[in-house]
Amino acid sequence: MESTSPTVKSERGDAVWGKLPDALTENILARLPIPILAQSRLVCKNWNSIILSDALTELRSQNNPVETWFLISWKPQKSIVVYDPSSRHWHEMPAHSLIAGDSQILGTAGGLLFVVSYFKCSSGGTDSEGHWYYEDFQFTVCNPLTGSWRKISCNNSVLDIYIVGMTYNHQSNSYIILLCGSSARGKQYLATEVYESSTDCWTDGDDFILPESETHFEFVQREAVCVDGFFFCLLNDTVHAYDLQRGKWTPLPAKVPPTDAFISLLGCCSGLLMVTELAPLQLSPGDASLPFRIWELEQSTMKWVEKQMAPPSLSNTFFDPGWHEDYYVFGQGEWLCLWTLEEDFRAFAYDCSRKQWHQLPRSHLLEGLDWLDNLCGMPFEPSFKARV
């Protein structure tokens, strides 16, 4: 039997797929999982054009809800690993050339990554607490699925960054970035600056004024959470909200639930959530459940209402009471992820709509990771439509 060369087979395949009407090709591509769809851009120029078209985006939105993935990154960022909770599979996305090497992902929104790249020089870098000095930095926003990117100029109000927030408007295909950190006006005044992609400029917001009684302050997490036009962050034991329309910071009267050393704010479909960890002494005798609680801010009463606790079935495979500081949480939309890297990477996902937990499968993509790799996790909404 006469064999056929790979080149001839490829040409025959291109000829077959090339004869399909674009409408039929769109219907086929619209049903592919996003990781396969991203790879399919390499098939031919026509497929790449169809995949990046508004028509296919609209068709996919009719058949697929907005997805939330869990993104894990580390330095050096030669690749980005994502987990799809709906299919329960890990995928690898090559890092954009602009975020490889001495770079860090500061935030995500709507399918975009907000990245800071720093240059080796006498100034810049991080202080002893890991805060970023960006006077010698370059900000970039990119879409890892399409490869598009945009450099953003740096403003001068914030000297080093304590808080980063990012939100995306799907209707206008625009995004907003919030930075808050130390300023030249003194330790009590934290400067705030906001970038809007629609105008391509930074504006100075209201100063975050620390109470005079606060001799020590600590932001529990760097990522500010955006819900209904407000960015929320947690300073010590008080939640503060930044109103994007008014440009003002306001402390919330809601008292933070009792907790040990672990708190995380999340923006999910139902509103603002908080995850807390109880110390072993706060648990009832014989309580085998994980000491994690999920709370939701009730707007009418401005009180935190307990919604869910992790079930006992997860405790034997996940919880070690001696390592409270090693647990991290992030989430968005319908999903949140609870993870640790005490001995190796282990994580659980919680479906807010179904109120169900499941353990994430192990992956060779995450083998050999260490805290020294500056490991970080954050939610990611994959989108070919997101514009930088």
User: Which pLDDT score, from 0 to 100, does residue 1 have?
Assistant: 41
Topology classification of domain 96-308+375-380: Neuraminidase (2.120.10)
User: Which pLDDT score, from 0 to 100, does residue 33 have?
Assistant: 80
Three-state helix/strand/coil letters over 4-51: CCHHHHHHHHHHHHHCCCHHHHHHHHCCCCHHHHHHHCCCCHHHHHHH
User: Which pLDDT score, from 0 to 100, does residue 345 have?
Assistant: 74
User: Which pLDDT score, from 0 to 100, does residue 242 have?
Assistant: 94
Give the integer Cα–Cα distance in Å for 319 and 386: 38
More confident residue, 308 or 111: 111
DSSP letter, residue 219: B
pLDDT 10s digits, 22-63: 788 888 888 888 878 888 887 888 888 888 888 887 787 776
Greatest CA span in the chain, whole angstroms?
A: 87
User: Which pLDDT score, from 0 to 100, does residue 366 have?
Assistant: 78
pLDDT 10s digits, 123-141: 545 555 555 444 467 888 9
User: Which pLDDT score, from 0 to 100, does residue 98 have?
Assistant: 56
Q: What angle do CA 291, 295, 297 make, to 5 degrees?
A: 160
User: Which pLDDT score, from 0 to 100, does residue 6 have?
Assistant: 45
More confident residue, 9 or 75: 75
Give the chain's mean pLDDT. 76
Instruction: Place 241 in a pLDDT band, splitting at 50, 70 and 90.
Output: very high
pLDDT 10s digits, 144-182: 888 888 888 877 777 788 889 999 998 898 999 999 888
What is the three-class DSSP state of 312? Answer: helix
Query: Where do you find CATH 2.120.10 in the chain?
Result: 96-308+375-380
More confident residue, 105 or 185: 105
More confident residue, 232 or 292: 232
Query: Of 117, 132, 112, 127, which Cα lies nearest the Cα of 76?
Result: 117
pTM for this structure? 0.83
Per the structure block, which two tokens stand in for 308? 């869910």
Per the structure block, which two tokens stand in for 166? 């990012």
Evaluate whether 341 touches 367 at the Cβ level (below 8 Å): no
Give yes or no for residue 199 having a pLDDT over 90.
Answer: yes
Q: Which amino acid is at 120?
A: K
User: Which pLDDT score, from 0 to 100, does residue 247 have?
Assistant: 92
User: Which pLDDT score, from 0 to 100, does residue 276 have?
Assistant: 81
Query: Of 281, 300, 280, which Cα lies nearest the Cα of 290?
Result: 280
pLDDT 10s digits, 251-274: 998 888 877 656 788 888 778 888
Evaluate whether 166 touches 210 at the Cβ level (below 8 Å): no
Query: Of 215, 218, 209, 245, which Cα lies nearest the Cα of 230?
Result: 245
Q: Which of 257-271, 280-294, 318-332 has the highest mean pLDDT?
A: 257-271
Q: Determine what percent of the chain is predicted with pLDDT higher than 70.
A: 71
CB-CB neighbours of 130 under 10 Å: 8
Please give the average per-residue pLDDT across 211-238, as a whole number. Answer: 79
Instruction: Place 9 in a pLDDT band, splitting at 50, 70 and 90.
Output: very low
Please give the average per-residue pLDDT across 207-229, as a whole number. Answer: 76
Q: What are phi and psi of 14, to 5 degrees?
A: -60, -35
Instruction: Place 8 in a pLDDT band, splitting at 50, 70 and 90.
Output: very low
Evaluate whether 112 touches 168 at the Cβ level (below 8 Å): yes
Give yes or no for residue 184 having a pLDDT over 80.
Answer: no
Give the integer Cα–Cα distance in Å for 227 and 272: 7
Please give the average per-residue pLDDT across 355-384, as a whole number. Answer: 77
Give yes or no for residue 13 having a pLDDT over 50.
Answer: no
Give yes or no for residue 232 having a pLDDT over 90.
Answer: yes
Sign of CA dihedral 324, 288, 343, 352: negative
More confident residue, 129 or 343: 343
Give yes or no for residue 3 having a pLDDT over 50.
Answer: no
Q: Determine what percent of the chain is predicted with pLDDT higher than 90.
A: 12
User: Which pLDDT score, from 0 to 100, does residue 10 have?
Assistant: 46
User: Which pLDDT score, from 0 to 100, does residue 342 have?
Assistant: 62
Please give the average per-residue pLDDT across 217-227, as a whole number. Answer: 79
User: Which pLDDT score, from 0 to 100, does residue 164 have?
Assistant: 92
β-pair partners for 190: 182, 208
